[in-house]
Amino acid sequence: ATLASERFPDQDQIKIALARADLASGRYQACYETLNHANVLPFEGQRDIQALYANCQMALAIEAIRGGNFKLAEERLKGSKVYPEHLGTGRPADPDFRVQDYLLMLSQDRAGGPAGAAESAARRADFDAYAKRHSRKNLAELRGQLDAWASASLGHKEPLAALEELSAIVRGPRGR
């Protein structure tokens, strides 16, 4: 993918392949930069590029949380909720941001302070509102699994693997 992107720097599909390779290889910053320079035309049913963008930013946020840089983690997590026009996908009517909201809660709880506590409470409400609208488990029902994930996976697994585990807990095994 790297060689192809060097030979054909204007081919956005090659940029997307490079971004996927970077994400899978743990080069999250390179993935982010590649996607920021891509210009993908929209097509019907396309969701994977925005998911790639979101996963890249959430993996960067996990690295920032591990390093104690909660401000950067918050920026990345809020950025992962954006549907950039240059990546070809419009925002759906009711996007599922529960993974981002949980990571924001976790980051804000670890950062401490009254502002973090207020933001964290707002994220909890957002998480539960989405779960209620779609007949899914709320935060209280998932608390044990989420706490186990935070202690076992957040600081010990590769960010992408930890993120996939978290997503399976929050969204269920099929990602819904």
Q: How far is CA 172 from the centre of its chain?
A: 16
pLDDT single digits (tens) 101-148: 999 999 988 888 777 778 888 888 889 999 888 878 889 999 999 999
Average pLDDT over residues 96-100: 93
Helix axes 12-24, 28-36, angle to 10 degrees: 160
pLDDT in tens, 66-89: 999 999 999 999 999 998 888 887
- Is residue 173 packed enough to be buried (19+ CB in 10 Å), middle (13-18) or exposed (0-12)? exposed
Instruction: State if pTM tops 0.95.
Output: no
| Dihedral sign from CA coordinates of 124, 92, 158, 31 | negative
Task: Please give the average per-residue pLDDT across 48-75, as a whole number.
Answer: 95
